[in-house]
Chain A
Amino acid sequence: MARAIPTRQKIVMSVIAWAIAFLIFFPILWTILTSFKTEAEAVATPPSFLFFDWTLENYVTVQERSNYFRHFMNSVIISLGSTVAGLVIAIPAAWSMAFVPAKRTKDILMWMLSTKMLPAVGVLIPIYLIFRDTGLLDTRLGLVIVLTMINLPIIVWMLFTYFREIPGDILEAARMDGATLRSEILYVLVPMAVPGIASTLLLNIILAWNEAFWTLNLTAARSAPLTAFIASYSSPEGLFYAKLSAASTMAIAPILILGWFSQKQLVRGLTFGAVK
C-alpha cells in the first residue's frame, strides 16, 4: 500500500516542482515573447514581460526572407530517416545483447558508449573528405547516415535496458512453437516492447532534430535543416534578436508540440527500469 503523504507536504512539493519547471522553461518562453516584440523592445532595459506592442512583423520578415518549409521538410526527413534507420539496426543488436549475451557483451556496450566521448570536431575533416568523395555533401541521405551513427549507441543502450526487463521465457516459448528468429523479434519481442521502442523513437527524433554540429557543417543550400535556418538569423554585428527569436520559435515549435503530446511516453520510457 502506498504511504499517505500529508496535504501540506504535497502542496510544497507541487510548488517546488512548478518553480523548477518554470525555471527550465523560462528561456523558451522568453524567446517566444521576444519574437512578438520590435527589435528596439527586444533589447530595452528594463525589459517588458507582457506589456508591449505585440507584433507579427518578425514572422512576416522571416517568412519573406527564408524558405521555412524547405528547411522544415529537411528536418523532418533527416530526423525521421535517421531514427528509423537507427531502430532497424538497433533492435536486433539489443536483442542479441539482452537475450544471448556473450562474454564480452558488457564491454561492447561500454565501447559503443565511448564513441560518444569523442568531440565531433575531431572527425570533421575525415568525414568531410569521405562525403566529398562519395558525393554525400549537402544531401539528406548523408545526414541520415551520420545522425544514425551518432545516435546508435543511445538507441542500443535504451532498447537493451527495455529488452532486459522482458522475460526470456516468453521468447523461448515462441521458439519452442517453431517461430523463426525473424518472427520471434517481429511478432513477439517488438509488440511487448512497444512502449520502450516508442520512447526511444521519440527521444531520438528530438536529438536528431536539435543536432546542430553535423547539420551545419555538412550542408549548404539544398539539405540544410532548421538548425541552419536559425543560424542564418544570428548576427554578431547588428541587433536582430526579435527576428532570431521568431526564427527559433518557428524551428522549435514542431518538436515542442510533439514533445508535449508524447510527454507521458517520454517520461515513462526514460524512467523505465529506474525503480525496482
Chain B
Amino acid sequence: MRLLPTLIGATSAVALCVAAQAETITIATVNNGDMIRMQSLADDFTSKHPDIQIEWVTLEENVLRQRVTTDIATKGGQYDVMTIGTYEVPIWARQGWLVPLDDLGDDYDVDDLLPAIRNGLSVDGKLYAAPFYGESSMVMYRKDLFEKAGLEMPEEPTWEFIGEAARKLTDKSNEIYGICLRGKAGWGENMALLTAMANSFGARWFDMDWNPQFDSQQWKDTLNFYLDLMKDAGPPGASSNGFNENLALFQSGKCGMWIDATVAASFVTNPNDSQVADQVGFALAPDNGLGKRGNWLWAWALGIPAGSEKVDSAKAFIAWATSKDYLQLVADKEGWANVPPGTRTSLYENPDYQKAAPFAAMTLRSIEAADPDNPTVDEVPYTGVQFVAIPEFQGIGTAVGQQFSAALAGTVTADQALATAQQVTSREMRRAGYPK
C-alpha cells in the first residue's frame, strides 16, 4: 500500500510551503503600558503583512537588559527586534551590533522625529533604533496644596523655590510630604535623578581627561541639597523609593511635588487610579540659573541586532510600530491620551492630542530642554544626560547610587558617600583603561 507514504509526503510538502511563506520574527520588549498596547494592536501589522508572524518575549526591564545584552554580545540570534534605550544604542552601534535604520520606507518621515530623541538614537548622523516612546522628567505638583499654602508654581522653577515650597507644603502629622524623589539605589533609579540634578548644579561625572569629579564642590552642593530637602520634606523610608513607590504615594495624595519621568503624567491624571487626578499641575524640572535644567532624556526604541537573519521583516515591523499611522491607530482604538508620547513633532502639533493630554506641552518642552550631546555646564567627554554612555556606567552608576542611597538612609554622611563614590569610580575607570 503506497497511500500512507504519499500522504505523509504531501502533508510535509504543505507544511514546508507554509513554513517558507510565513516568517516569524521574535520581538523582545519591556512590560510598560505602551508596549503592552502595541502587542494587543499587532493584528493590524500582521493583517498588512500576512507573510510575517510575531513571537513576543516580554520581560521586566532589568531582566530584559541582561537578556538582550548577552544575546547580542554573543551573536546568539534569538531576537529580531529588541527594545533598547538611549543608553544602549550609542554603545552598541559603535560595536557594530545594530543594523542601521536609514531606510524605513518613503512614507516613514524620519524628519518628523523629535530632534533630541533622534540624536540620542543616532551615531554619526545615522539612526540605529527607532523611538517607540520618549520621556524627559518634570515637576508634577498638587495645585490644591499650592493654593492652600499661598504658593504659585512658576513654569520654570529654581531649586531654591522647590526647596522652600517643599518645606512649606510639608505637614508630617497628616502624612503630607512636600516632595517625593527617588532614593532607591541603581544607575537607572536614584542616579537618573541625581545625575540630571547634578547637571543643573554645574557638576559632572568626569572632566575632559575622564577623571571622576565627585570631589568637586558642585557634587557636594548637589548631594547636600538633596539630602537636606529629603530630610525636611521627604517621606519616611525614601531610600527605598523608586518610580513605582513614589507614583503610589503621589496618587494617594501624600506628595506635594514629585520630580520624575514625564510618562507618569498620564498615570497621575487618570481618575481610575489617582485620587488627585484633577489637581495635578506640571512645570519644567528646576534649574540653578546655570543654563542647564535638572531633567533627563530617555527613549525606548526598537532596534535590530546585527545577527538577525530576518532584517527586512524586522524593519517592516519597526516602521509600522513607530510610524505616524500607528499613533493614529492607537488614537482610534483607545483615545489620544493613550498614544505613546515623545517621539514625533506632528503629534505635539495635533490639536486633538493637545486637548486630550494636558501634560503634552510641558512634556515637549522638557524633552527639548535636554541635550544629550552637551549635558553639563562644563565640557565633558561623554554623551548622555542622566547617564554616561560608556559600557562601564551600569556598574559604576549602581555602586555610586548605593552610596547616595545609604547617605539618604543616614548610614553614611554625605562626605563619606562622595569620597567612596570618587574612590570606586576612579578604581573602575582605571581598570577599564581610562583616563585616556
Interface residue ranges, A against B (CB under 8 Å)? 39-40, 43-45, 65, 124-125, 128-129, 132, 137-138, 216-217, 220-222, 224, 228, 231-240
Contact = CB atoms under 8 A, between A and B. Distances in A.
B32 interface: yes
B272 to A, nearest CB: 7
B31 A235 contact: yes
B70 A124 contact: yes
Nearest to B62: A236
Nearest to B260: A237
Contacts of A44: 252
Interface in B54-69: 55-63, 66-67
Nearest to A125: B74
Given A65-B36, A125-B74, A237 B263 contact: yes
A151 to B, nearest CB: 22
28 contacts: A40-B273, A65-B39, A65-B40, A125-B70, A125-B73, A128-B70, A128-B76, A129-B74, A132-B75, A132-B76, A137-B76, A138-B78, A220-B55, A221-B56, A228-B59, A231-B63, A232-B58, A232-B60, A234-B31, A234-B63, A235-B31, A235-B32, A236-B62, A237-B61, A237-B244, A237-B261, A238-B31, A240-B31
Interface of B: 26, 28, 30-33, 36, 39-40, 55-63, 66-67, 70-71, 73-79, 188, 242-244, 247-248, 251-252, 254, 261, 263, 267, 272-273
Contact of B60 (A45, A128, A235): A235
B75 A236 contact: no
Contacts of A221: 26, 55-57
B63 A235 contact: no
B243 A237 contact: yes
The list of the 10 closest CB pairs from A to B, nearest first, reads: A221-B55, A234-B60, A232-B58, A43-B248, A220-B78, A235-B31, A132-B76, A231-B59, A231-B60, A231-B63
Given A125-B70, A228-B59, A237-B261, A40 B272 contact: yes
A266 B98 CA distance: 50
Given A65-B39, A132-B76, A228-B59, A239 B242 contact: no
Contacts of B77: 132
Contacts of A237: 32, 61, 243-244, 261, 263
B78 A137 contact: yes
B65 to A, nearest CB: 11
A160 B91 CA distance: 51
Nearest to B75: A132
B79 A236 contact: no
Contact of B67 (A129, A216, A236): A216
Contacts of B254: 45
A232 B29 CA distance: 9
A255 B56 CA distance: 26
Contacts of B62: 236
Contact of A239 (B39, B66, B267): B267
A125 B79 CA distance: 17
Given A220-B78, A237-B32, A43 B63 contact: no
Contact of A235 (B55, B61, B67, B251): B61
A228 B273 CA distance: 27
Contact of B66 (A217, A232, A238): A217
Of A45, A125, A233, A238, the most chain B CB neighbours within 10 A belong to: A238
B278 to A, nearest CB: 16
Given A125-B74, A217-B66, A224 B267 contact: no
Nearest to A233: B31
Nearest to A220: B78
Given A128-B76, A138-B78, A235 B30 contact: yes
Contacts of B247: 239
A216 B248 CA distance: 29
A124 B30 CA distance: 22
B78 A238 contact: no
A224 B57 contact: yes
A129 B79 CA distance: 15
A30 to B, nearest CB: 16
B32 A43 contact: no
Given A224-B57, A232-B59, A217 B70 contact: yes
Query: Which of B59, B62, B254 gathers most chain A CB within 10 Å?
Result: B59
A180 to B, nearest CB: 42
A107 B79 CA distance: 44
Given A132-B75, A232-B31, A39 B273 contact: yes
Given A125-B70, A132-B76, A236-B242, A43 B252 contact: yes
A203 to B, nearest CB: 26
A40 B243 CA distance: 16
Contacts of B78: 137-138, 220
A272 to B, nearest CB: 37
Contacts of A137: 76, 78
Given A39-B273, A65-B40, A235-B30, 18 more contacts: A43-B248, A125-B74, A132-B76, A132-B77, A137-B76, A217-B70, A220-B26, A221-B55, A221-B56, A224-B57, A232-B57, A234-B60, A235-B32, A236-B60, A236-B61, A236-B242, A237-B244, A239-B248
